[in-house]
Structure 1
Amino acid sequence: MVSTMGRTISLAVALATAVASCLGLAPVAAASGLSVDRSGYRLDIDRAPFRLTVRHGGQVVLRTASPAIDFDGGTVTNVRSSHYSAGNLVLSLGTTDPARTVQLTIGPGEHRLSLAAQVRPPSAGRLGVHYDLASGGHWYGQGETTRGAQDPIAFQPWPLETGQPLDPAFGPAEYYMTEPFWFTSRGSGLYLLGNGVKDVSLGNRHPGVFDLTELAGGELSATILVRDTAREVFQDYVGIAGKPEKSDAPDYQYREPVWNSWAQFYTAVTQQGFLDWARGIHDAGIPAHTFSLDDGWSAHYGDFTFNAKFPDPHGMVDQVHRLGARFGLWVSLWANPDSANYALAASRGWLLKSKADPAKPCTVQWWNGAAGIVDLANPEANAWYQGQLHQLMTDYGVDGFKFDTRFFDESCAPYRPDLSMADYQRLGAQMADGYDLQGVGIRSHWTGAQRNGFVVREIDKEANFAALGVAVRQLLALSTVGYPFVTSDMIGGSDGQHPDRQVLIRWAQAAAATPLMYASTSPVGFDAQTVQYYRDAVRLHERLTPYILRQRDRALATGEPIMKPLFFEDPQDQAAYTITDEWLLGDGLLVAPVLTEGTSRDVHLGHGAWFDVANHRVVRGDLHDYHAGPGTLPLFVRMGTGDTDSLLAALL
């Protein structure tokens, strides 16, 4: 047994006698007890009140809040006893409920600690672990964020603690692109294990506290990562989640935009309007590898038949092909009750079942009403659904699809009891991987989805400058949880509005310096100068494509993001941790777009010499009131790297 008479016990107390020599643990005297260094970190455990503190390089990098752990009906108060078992320190924690304790198992490893908390006797209720936000410095990760009524359409703080996000349904089945991973400016990180629904709050439910709550089961498991820099913590998570095994987008989809009809027409799209839009873009000399028909084409949601607005679908596809482009089509797994396919699928058991009554389909709400979801785990349903996709390809010449859907809903029952929400994400990815996703990818997430190598498009955005800023921050958030092949929402936004010319131009310029371009609102409806600026942005992206493809190959080899925050390159630059409107494309190109009205902005360059592309000069240090007229995207090439010459050749 481990003595807990003092205020602080140490990891070494439990492990020193049995495993100090084999694990390399070295007990060190401390005023309040014993501490241990393990691959550069030290964990101290305060007995009463109970608290965990992780130190690295003499600095606190993560600390639990007060209370550190709570559950339905109680909070943890103190360490009652401890023992060593199979290389782990096992603590029995007293609580405010005399009938319950919490068992906390701590496993030391290289640059990481595993934590597994369980309510004893076992409970089916919630269990939360809480951290002091300030102990980690600035926080990043999670992917797309929400806060109450705000969702990722208009909300994406960077760093996270600046916006106090709250996601009460955090899990693999949600439509948002979320990831159970967070990392900090002080080189600590958290990775949550398990596929259950969680409640996640960064300072929202309790000011200054990071609340991680497993909503059912009375258990919570996590891994604490400790490294010298935030970038190294990210790389450790890539080692857990996996790097992309391929890129689902071929080279040409990186080079030219995909054009999707949604923001141009919304559901008012018609065959004639779609073709006029595509011809206008083509005739203006603006590149397009695909013209994709979004929502508004089907007879009913769930059916795969064209409505009366599209009298000759085959002829429409042929005309797109004659423009030298591919044709794409929007589809989902949602089927509304008024569709013929809903009736068929419900009668044959091909929809996800209701938890309350498995004899009935599960009814969920989406942005087009109530619906059922095709159950991809049912082999017959999967084959039936995909058979209809192949029929569209055979009958009309459709080249690929934009899958816009959820694969599961927490209110539904799985096809088999052993299937988790994450399993349905996997099934959705396997299904989508059989089709050309045409550069818009798929919104499939959770630890391990990184391996699929899909392009990841962020959620819809409003058509204004504020939304453009959200889009940039969201691209950084998605890139730094393991998804390197990112694209913003449709250039100009797509949430029921239309952008003005300034928003459209500046959005196109920013998108030009991201991995892929996703377009909808045509500049042809504006003036000739707008068309020219838009075309210039697309041509700039084309010139950057060889460099972007090298970054793609690097991402495939290492998991490294293509689009990354400035502090990944210079972790000592403290100002970089709160820069919200700049990024590095690869390591050699700094992008500082204009994301507001006006023609100037401040630019933070960090250390070293940079070539100012717009003004053909070498600059150092921060630039104030940098002029960037409506046709200018501020770009800066890092001098003295292996990419310097090729970037300058492409940009000058």
Structure 2
Amino acid sequence: MPVPVRSGGRVSGMDAGDVVRSAKWMASLRAVGSAQGLRTVRSAWRRHRVDAVGLPRQGTERARVPGPAEGAEPGPGGGVVRFARSSLRVRVTVGGAVFLGWDGAGPEPSYALAGAAPEADERAVLEPDTDGGWRVVAERALVVVSRHGMVEVRTPGGALLRRDLPPRWWEPAARSGGRGGRWVQRSQVPADARFFGLGGRSAGPRLRDGWYRLWNTDPGGAFEPGDDPLYITMPVLLTVADAGTHLVFHDTTWDGRVALWEGEEGAGSGHDRPGRCEVRMDGGPLRSWVLVGSPARVLHGWAGLTGGAAVPPAWALGYQHARWGFGSEREVRRVVAGYRERGLPLSAVHLDIDHFRGHRSFTVDRRRFPDLPGLAADLRGQGVRLVSIVDPAVKEEPGMAVYDGGVEADAFVRDVRGRVVRGEVWPGPCVFPDFTDPEVRRWWGGLYAERLVQGFSGVWHDMNEPVSFAAFGDPTLPRSARHSLEGRGGDHREAHNVYGLTMARAGYEGLRELRPDERPFLFSRSGWAGMQRYGGTWSGDVATGWPGLRASLALVLGLGLCGVPYSGPDVGGFTGFPSPELFLRWFQLGAYLPLFRTHAAITAGRREPWEFGPEVLEHAGAALRERTRLLPYFVTLAHLAQRTGAPYVRPVWWRSPEDRALRDCEDAFLLGDALLVAPVLEAGADRRAVRLPRGLWYDTATGRAHEGPGQVLLDAPLSRVPVLARAGAVVPVAGADGAVELEVWPPAPGRTGGGVLVPDAGDGWKRPDAVRFVTRWRDGVVAVEREGAAEVGFRVRLRG
């Protein structure tokens, strides 16, 4: 069978990544059967034919650059600089964010923004610069526009953070469909800068030199470090340098690629070679946001733009167990009883597609689960919630309620000829709701009533890149497929990356309307900038192995720096059979991540801790109990993430970005401000080096103090991983009776410390007040004070 190939630098059929993914898909589909495998071939050719008709032809393209400046018009927060062949809008908002929009692009409409664009800072004024250009001076940033279209973002003191060279556009001479032509933006950053972000990446969190694609993709099978792209890609890049930290967000949803090259100090006759970034997009507006400041300030500003993170209910911060292949109600009860009999805390059980009737979402296999509401009620009485998977693809089956309802609502994506687009997913031939249509979102959100009736307390969205199985090419919908895009109209090239985001919005808003007194619990495999408004995510199908364990941490850290604080991996890996040591080390890592969940494929080994022997059971039990003890701290971090944008899990350079050694540290992380966790990420290790930020740190196992910055060698026996507490920290924990108490670590001599507690206010919408504490030495004794109150009000346990 002939295979379409890459031509002219543009993908017309399969590229190298498609070949690899197709091989993985075919391998994974062998277990499904030859009939479905044959349908994936037909589906791939059908998609190819639809795009051959529906996509505009390449045609001749003209290159364009802004040209020389011709004048400027002041406006709120900045103004518009006009060039011979383009224009640039500069606007600084009251929060300090800088908006840059070429060719008349404004900040709206945008899927990333939480609402209307923030108001302009009236104090920021566009004024002439010395070289014939213009500049905007603001409280947190200085923006300089040259007469040829180069844009520099500097600190208020003048230190260069980012230099955008004049952009370039390629516009078809005769274009039909789409919005704008391709464009490229090249930028320079300081030579010492390090790059982070771009969504969920399997290597990192520091992004090395190379190309990164911006196209949400199911890699097929399972992924390891180096596989790219994955399920969540975002044009969000965080850059850390001596001069300062900044975040840039290119607000376009189209397919694109980002190339990064780190700089080199003293390169070439003693001159620095700057770091470089190149963003190439297939379409969409050339507009961006830049935020400047400390990491905490930058993420706070990013949350202000894109919305605070949804706070999960407290039970969703506990340990959760999932498996593709529970098979029956009896098996679920057996597994839950296993946790209870061994005294292991368990908050939730997740049911995968095998509990559906023929893999159809919003159905139940009554033979295997004859009384799902009864099962949910029984488990809830034991403190265990049920969580349901939901896939977006709807089986094309007249007579099935969801399909018939979608047909009546005209909810499904169509091609350029008006025919409903069909694909191949787990149930067989499927159609796909258009979640970029507000009416379709309302229809879909109402379907979650069935899940609530069945007793489920939360949902996880899967296969929503979206996926349509394909024997070759990209496993998704035709790029020419038509979407509403909030009534503006467009095709899948523009809608693909926000499909998961808009599905999450539909589910979240539906659950909120159906059960208004409870915060929804929802996490999604795919998404885009702003997805934190509706919930979190997880690693997807990470491969079982030590590289997969390392990738798990990279994903959580990278997503947190893109504004998605609630995430976690499939503990033990999605595929394969982890060794007892690997499973235990993965479990210990998971105990300190926001989403703590075991999960595995139907063909993989089991993930119950007792399946790995008595030693693993003992040590996994200790990790579970520690997670339960830290739940008040996790609840606090969840509320702080919503209010400040700070992720639960932070890179070790979070408070010391000027420490270059910390920027390169990828095997440890901060849990909030108080704890530093150093997981074991390689086989056979019983000691490991830990790089400390500045200040005094206590080994929580031995109480020994270590002074940072610097590196220490700590014991890491199978029973635990190294965890250190910042001197002066106040950590809210659960006492033996379940009541919240304060674990206090002495501040360094002559210094003060402190901490925050946000009490658990239940699963509703009440916004609890933050309680702040200060620690200090007084007459040779550590004293704890509660701000604004004469009494602390909680039991205090002094450590160290």
1:159 counterpart residue number: 206
Task: Describe the SS at the equivalent of 2:364.
Answer: coil
**Is 1:580 aligned to residue 666 of structure 2?**
yes
Query: How many Å separate the matches in 2 of 1:593 and 1:404?
Result: 28
Does the CA-based 8 Å contact 1:61-1:136 persist in structure 2? no
Q: Which moved more, 1:287-296 or 1:312-321?
A: 312-321
**Is 1:567 aligned to residue 653 of structure 2?**
yes
**Is 1:503 aligned to residue 588 of structure 2?**
no
1:253 counterpart residue number: 316
Does the CA-based 8 Å contact 1:352-1:412 persist in structure 2? no
Query: How many Å separate the matches in 2 of 1:346 and 1:26?
Result: 55
- How big is each residue's C-alpha offset from its partner over 1:297-345, in whole Å with a ceiling of 9 and x where there is no partner? 2222335443476062446546545654233322222123468537635
Query: How many Å separate the matches in 2 of 1:357 and 1:224?
Result: 41
Q: Pick from 676, 684, 691: which aligns with 1:604? A: 691
Per-residue deviation, 1:543: 1.2
Query: How many Å separate the matches in 1 of 2:569 and 2:211?
Result: 23
1:94 counterpart residue number: none
Q: Pick from 271, 275, 278: which aligns with 1:211? A: 278
Closer, same or farther: CA 136–124 of 1 in aligned 2, 3 Å:
farther
Task: Describe the SS at the equivalent of 1:568.
Answer: coil
Closer, same or farther: CA 616–306 of 1 in aligned 2, 3 Å:
same
Does the CA-based 8 Å contact 1:260-1:292 persist in structure 2? yes
Closer, same or farther: CA 33–401 of 1 in aligned 2, 3 Å:
closer
Does the CA-based 8 Å contact 1:136-1:188 persist in structure 2? no
Query: How many Å separate the matches in 2 of 1:208 and 1:369?
Result: 48
Per-residue deviation, 1:510: 1.3
2:237 counterpart residue number: 182
2:390 counterpart residue number: 331
Alignment of 1:526-541 (within 5 A): 526-541=612-627
Query: How many Å separate the matches in 2 of 1:242 and 1:545?
Result: 24
Q: Pick from 298, 311, 315: which aligns with 1:233? A: 298
- Letter of the 2:698 counterpart: F
Q: Which moved more, 1:497-506 or 1:426-435?
A: 426-435
Q: What is the count of residue pairs matched by the alignment?
A: 567
Does the CA-based 8 Å contact 1:301-1:339 persist in structure 2? no
1:487 counterpart residue number: 567
- Letter of the 2:576 counterpart: Q
**Is 1:353 aligned to residue 413 of structure 2?**
yes
Query: How many Å separate the matches in 2 of 1:567 and 1:339?
Result: 56
- How big is each residue's C-alpha offset from its partner over 1:256-286, in whole Å with a ceiling of 9 and x where there is no partner? 3121123xx4xx7344433322322222221
Query: How many Å separate the matches in 2 of 1:378 and 1:27?
Result: 44
Per-residue deviation, 1:197: 1.1
2:364 counterpart residue number: 306
- How big is each residue's C-alpha offset from its partner over 1:587-636, in whole Å with a ceiling of 9 and x where there is no partner? 11111111111112110112111111122211113344422011112111
Per-residue deviation, 1:428: 4.0
Task: Describe the SS at the equivalent of 2:303.
Answer: helix
Closer, same or farther: CA 632–303 of 1 in aligned 2, 3 Å:
closer
Alignment of 1:90-105 (within 5 A): none
2:482 counterpart residue number: 413
2:94 counterpart residue number: none
Closer, same or farther: CA 12–165 of 1 in aligned 2, 3 Å:
closer
Query: How many Å separate the matches in 1 of 2:68 and 2:232?
Result: 45
Per-residue deviation, 1:563: 1.5
- How big is each residue's C-alpha offset from its partner over 1:401-454, in whole Å with a ceiling of 9 and x where there is no partner? 3332428766542356336845835334323545689866335744444344x2
Query: How many Å separate the matches in 1 of 2:651 and 2:369?
Result: 48
Does the CA-based 8 Å contact 1:581-1:595 persist in structure 2? yes
Alignment of 1:4-15 (within 5 A): none
Closer, same or farther: CA 647–276 of 1 in aligned 2, 3 Å:
farther
Does the CA-based 8 Å contact 2:256-2:281 persist in structure 1? yes
Q: Pick from 259, 265, 269: which aligns with 1:202? A: 259
TM-score when scaled to structure 2? 0.62
Query: How many Å separate the matches in 2 of 1:216 and 1:14?
Result: 23
Query: How many Å separate the matches in 2 of 1:378 and 1:576?
Result: 45
Alignment of 1:3-42 (within 5 A): 23=124, 38-39=138-139, 41-42=141-142
1:424 counterpart residue number: 502
- Letter of the 1:424 counterpart: T
1:403 counterpart residue number: 461
2:185 counterpart residue number: 129
Per-residue deviation, 1:585: 1.1
Task: Describe the SS at the equivalent of 2:743.
Answer: helix
Q: Pick from 634, 641, 646: which aligns with 2:743? A: 646
Query: How many Å separate the matches in 1 of 2:403 and 2:295?
Result: 51
Per-residue deviation, 1:531: 0.9
Closer, same or farther: CA 413–407 of 1 in aligned 2, 3 Å:
farther
1:148 counterpart residue number: none
Task: Describe the SS at the equivalent of 1:180.
Answer: strand
**Is 1:633 aligned to residue 713 of structure 2?**
no
Per-residue deviation, 1:509: 1.2
Q: Structure 2: which 5+ residue stretches go unaligned?
A: 1-66, 71-77, 83-90, 92-121, 218-228, 262-273, 467-476, 600-606, 733-741, 746-796
Query: How many Å separate the matches in 2 of 1:252 and 1:303?
Result: 24
- Letter of the 1:566 counterpart: V
1:64 counterpart residue number: 164
- How big is each residue's C-alpha offset from its partner over 1:43-100, in whole Å with a ceiling of 9 and x where there is no partner? 555557x6444443453321235xx4222269xxxxxxxxxxxxxxxxxxxxxxxx99
Decide which structure has greater helix share.
1
Task: Describe the SS at the equivalent of 1:306.
Answer: coil
Query: How many Å separate the matches in 2 of 1:294 and 1:169?
Result: 22
Closer, same or farther: CA 298–376 of 1 in aligned 2, 3 Å:
same
Query: How many Å separate the matches in 2 of 1:556 and 1:603?
Result: 30
- Letter of the 2:385 counterpart: R
Task: Describe the SS at the equivalent of 1:475.
Answer: helix
Closer, same or farther: CA 275–133 of 1 in aligned 2, 3 Å:
farther
Q: Which moved more, 1:626-635 or 1:131-140?
A: 131-140
Query: How many Å separate the matches in 2 of 1:554 and 1:567?
Result: 19
Per-residue deviation, 1:158: 2.0
Query: How many Å separate the matches in 2 of 1:45 and 1:533?
Result: 59
- Letter of the 1:71 counterpart: W
Query: How many Å separate the matches in 1 of 2:298 and 2:438?
Result: 39
Query: How many Å separate the matches in 2 of 1:560 and 1:164?
Result: 28
Per-residue deviation, 1:144: 1.2
Q: Which moved more, 1:590-599 or 1:136-145?
A: 136-145
1:591 counterpart residue number: 677
1:152 counterpart residue number: none
Closer, same or farther: CA 328–475 of 1 in aligned 2, 3 Å:
same
Query: How many Å separate the matches in 1 of 2:394 and 2:68?
Result: 61
Q: Percent of counterpart pairs with the same letter?
A: 21
- Letter of the 2:678 counterpart: A
Does the CA-based 8 Å contact 1:138-1:159 persist in structure 2? yes
- Letter of the 1:202 counterpart: A
Closer, same or farther: CA 411–340 of 1 in aligned 2, 3 Å:
farther
Closer, same or farther: CA 26–487 of 1 in aligned 2, 3 Å:
closer
- Letter of the 1:493 counterpart: G
**Is 1:475 aligned to residue 556 of structure 2?**
yes
Does the CA-based 8 Å contact 2:508-2:522 persist in structure 1? no
Alignment of 1:366-377 (within 5 A): 371-375=430-434
Closer, same or farther: CA 191–306 of 1 in aligned 2, 3 Å:
same
- Letter of the 1:414 counterpart: H
Per-residue deviation, 1:125: 1.8
Does the CA-based 8 Å contact 1:327-1:399 persist in structure 2? yes
Query: How many Å separate the matches in 1 of 2:643 and 2:438?
Result: 34
Closer, same or farther: CA 535–124 of 1 in aligned 2, 3 Å:
same
Per-residue deviation, 1:573: 1.5
